[in-house]
Amino acid sequence: MSQATTTEHQQPSGHDGVRRVSAADILKMDESTVCEAAAATEAERNMGLFKSLKLYRKACLWSIFLSTCIVMEGYDTVILNNLYAYPPFQRKFGVQQPDGSYELTAAWQSGLSNGALVGQVLGLFFNGIIADRIGYRLTLIGALMGCIGFIFILFFAESLVQLLIGEILIGVPWGVFQTLTTTYAAEVCPTHLRAYLTTYVNLCWVIGQFIASGVLRAMVLRDDQWGYKIPFALEWAWPIPLMIGIYLAPESPWWLVRHGRLEDAKKSIIRLTSRNTGVVFDADETLSMMVHTNAMEKEAVAGTSYKDLFKGANRRRTEIVCVTWMIQTLCGSTFMGYSTYFYQQAGLAVENSFNMSLGQYALGAIGTLTAWFLMSLAGRRTLYLCGQLTMCSLLLIIGCASFAGRENVAAQWAIGSMLLAYTFTYDATVGPVCYSLVSELTSTRLRTKSVVLARNVYNIVGIVTNIITPRMLNPTAWNWGAKSGFFWASSCLACAVWTYFRLPEPKGRTYGELDILFENRVSARKFKTTPVDRVDAEHVENTPEGEKGSEAVMLERVENRSPGKTTQ
């Protein structure tokens, strides 16, 4: 939530050295709306974490509930990728090897894994259009209804082609979940809670992965088709309860404001906040802040189409959110998705491979909880950069350990241990922080489409990594095994270099302040230290002499007012 933005009508620095942005053509609303927006912004900034939790307790609970949709995606992703190492599944869909064992070809492994990604690409783009028209709640409910039908295809599949069709179709609702859960969390919670609620999405992902690993571990002793059919059938447990809860949830007030439904937006704000908390709160002021910010961005970038993502300051923001999400897969995280299969190719037995995967995702959950603590100490940018450098080192160790050979038991367990350490690092830094960065660094008017585009870029890169990773690990293809660590260490280092020069720090900034910093083209490394004055009803000319030499980015008061505008 924010208080103001800038426009494309920038003015050069004044004689006093202060960089200014004129908003004279933007704030065509009455003075009371501007004052209320300023008051709400100041109150939100000064509220702090614990007061925010007391006031927005309901918003947190609704956000947590909607984010549970991501558990389904994390579950199914791990189920499929780890079934490649499951003997009954290998016998049913694999090809017999010279030693008598069965193995899915690298081509089919890539095809099945990429099938879901192709579906997600379609789902994301459809979602970018549909959610803007009918709202987040109805879009999510429709996606969950689709899941119920598509799970039938996976459960009854008798061929690889049928499995591929099922994965493509079920990927469509996953694309919806990926965007709307993060966007909803970012829009219903204030500044001090944004990072925690958006990174919770990563915890849901890890929870799904952990549940899937536990189910697969329980199925290891089964030697029939039910060993891989039961995991698919368990997915039917999710959609109905989620559909009921989402129907009862309040719509995002930001979405309602963008559609001019101000009375409904106020009702939503009231539903998302708690009464009698001892925290000063005015729903009308918060609504004015949303109206004000929306008006700012509507003037700065009048449209909300995909092409507007590449206009003005939004071009830089689009690059940042796209590359930020690409880093999630380019940093070597593909290893985790194929962990059980990777452990087997590194030399571990089937049971030990599934045990290691189970421990891996448990560490992932602990890592996400650790990220919440780390984010209170360090910024998002710092965690993202340090995480990548640490993971680069761990990947190098994995690559070096591979030279000991598959017969070396100590080396096998060393590689497994390094992958566990990698998983913890990823889920304490890059994994959860990515969701916070992507949701915070976009324009509020273009947030859904920005997240859609960024996630689709991630999915396209994921298709590439899903093509090459099975070939790296599969003994019938490149057979690199743990030596793949060298490749991903190089990729991770390149990502760290980009992060240092291009990724800004959004911690503690309202959406309006971020708009101003982007419009003024502030360097990514200076985002944290550049002060931004709040919006108020004072003239810039009233600024004290002692402050005119600062590097503050200031927003000038607007004199133009449109008659008939009332505060909701």
SS3 555: strand
* Contact between residue 15 and residue 31 where contact means Cβ atoms under 8 Å apart: no
Say which residue the tokens 């790296």 belong to: 472
Instruction: For residue 544, tell me if it sits in a domain.
Output: no
Instruction: For residue 534, tell me if it sits in a domain.
Output: no
Position 560 scores a pLDDT of 33
Position 568 scores a pLDDT of 38
Instruction: For residue 479, tell me if it sits in a domain.
Output: yes
Estimate the crossing angle of helix 339-346 against helix 447-473, to 10 degrees: 20
Closest CA to 471 of 378, 345, 311: 345
Using the 8-state DSSP alphabet, how is residue 25 labeled? T
Position 533 scores a pLDDT of 65
Position 169 scores a pLDDT of 94
d(CA 143, CA 394): 38
d(CA 202, CA 208): 10
Instruction: For residue 480, tell me if it sits in a domain.
Output: yes
Closest CA to 107 of 482, 475, 473, 471: 471
Instruction: For residue 396, tell me if it sits in a domain.
Output: yes
475 φ, ψ to 5°?
-65, -15
User: How many domains in the chain?
Assistant: 1
* Contact between residue 364 and residue 431 where contact means Cβ atoms under 8 Å apart: yes
Cα 433 versus chain centre, distance? 8
| Helix-strand-coil split of the chain, %, nearest 5 | 70, 0, 25
* Contact between residue 392 and residue 493 where contact means Cβ atoms under 8 Å apart: yes
CATH number at residue 323: 1.20.1250.20
Instruction: For residue 548, tell me if it sits in a domain.
Output: no
Extract the runs of DSSP E, i.e. beta strands, from 345-417.
Answer: none
Instruction: For residue 4, tell me if it sits in a domain.
Output: no
Strand bridging mode 19-21 / 553-555: parallel
Range of the domain at 316: 46-502
User: pLDDT tens string for the chain (568 positions)?
Assistant: 433 333 333 333 333 333 333 344 344 556 677 777 777 777 777 787 888 888 889 999 999 999 889 998 888 877 887 788 788 888 888 888 787 778 888 788 888 888 888 898 888 888 878 888 899 999 999 999 999 999 999 999 998 999 999 999 999 998 888 888 888 888 888 878 877 888 888 888 888 888 988 888 888 888 888 888 999 999 999 899 999 999 999 999 989 998 888 899 999 999 999 888 788 788 888 888 888 777 776 665 555 677 888 888 889 999 999 999 999 999 988 777 666 766 766 666 777 777 777 888 888 889 888 988 888 788 889 999 999 999 999 999 988 988 887 777 788 778 878 888 898 999 899 988 998 898 889 887 787 788 888 988 988 898 888 888 878 877 777 878 788 889 999 999 999 999 999 999 988 787 778 888 888 889 888 888 888 764 443 433 444 444 433 334 333 333 333 333 333 3
pTM score: 0.71
Instruction: For residue 387, tell me if it sits in a domain.
Output: yes
21 φ, ψ to 5°?
-130, 120
